Amino acid sequence: MNDPDDIIGRNAIVASLEKRWAATNQEMFLAAVILNPFYRHEPFSAIVEFNNASIGALIGRVYMQIFRSKTAPDEVLISLRDYLNGTGPFEGTLQAELAMETRNAHNERRDLDPDKIFNAYSFGNHDMPLFQLARRVLSITSNSASLELKARTRDEHQDQRKRDELRKRFLAQGTQYHFDNQPQLSETPLIITPESNTPAPVPTLRTSDLIQSSSIPHAMDAPSNNPPRNTFRDLIHQHMNQAAIASIDQEDDEFPEGPISHEPRGSFLKMPLAQIFDFEKSYWKNLIEEKVNRTFNEELELFQMLDLDGDGNDLGADVDEATADILSR
């Protein structure tokens, strides 16, 4: 791209992709590329992170993450090595299956379907363990956008629920604290004089009485056997801890986990897309050329079909002589 406007747009798109990529579970999406028979390890750069041993470690961590196991079975890792190198059960058959599916997809005008390849190596309805993992990974990553939206909505719902619960508890605690500290009203009955049916006059207090009463300790200063009340700070910490360990509803437990739900396990270091994929490889050039040619051929077929349907072009109809004679009258 030599046009300055194109360069600005390209840089903006790449920056947006890198930002989104940095926030994902990269191992899960890399595994989706590796376990897709039409890609495998071809698109990646020739760096140590994508040699056969590193790919085996990556797939092993993804297996443990999906199936909640402590280790990945040796059967999966051995099948993965044969799958990458085209040996063992894949020798001489994988390329043939890929070529046949490519032809069928072209003739049927549909996208390539990895599921067709998985079925070719199944024993009836039973998949080999490697392709069981592949189906799970591809199903997760293909639904990642909707899962991300649902996960964000679920988290917002949980946060709002916890805030409402904290607000109710604080209001209840504040109301109880307010009423507990109200001064007690005197229970002395009102004295009514029989002569006038009017309340008795309030006795006058002298200065000496006030001085004498001030020397008596106040009831609030007197020691009490009741335990000291929690401070407001203690109440906040208490409710925050309770909210942090609150149980999640059953509907949240049944929510499917997507590739953004957990950080990848192991020592895999996140890398930018520009480092992961080597776009100078012949693989990418051939892929782009193939897609361009396919698009051009499809547009040409559509143009020819529309052109034949234009004015002055009679496609004709396959009819017998009797029908043609009737139609011509």
- Tell me: the pLDDT tens digits for 233-256? 666 666 666 655 554 444 444 434
Q: Using a CB cutoff of 8 Å and minimum separation of 24, what contacts does 277-282 make? A: 277/43, 277/44, 277/45, 278/43, 278/44, 278/45, 278/46, 281/42, 281/43
Q: Are 27 and 268 in contact (CB under 8 A)?
A: yes
Task: Evaluate if residue 177 carries a pLDDT over 50.
Answer: yes
pTM of the model: 0.56
* The predicted structure's pLDDT at residue 256: 41
Beta-carbon contacts of residue 260 (< 8 Å; ≥ 6 apart): 23, 24, 25, 144, 147, 148, 151
- Tell me: the pLDDT tens digits for 7-32? 888 889 989 999 989 988 899 999 99
Across the range 118-141, mean pLDDT stands at 92
**Cα(123)–Cα(127) distance, rounded to whole angstroms?**
6
- Tell me: the pLDDT tens digits for 200-236? 555 555 555 544 544 444 444 444 455 455 566 666 6
- Tell me: the pLDDT tens digits for 271-326? 999 899 888 888 888 878 877 877 777 788 777 777 776 555 555 556 667 776 77
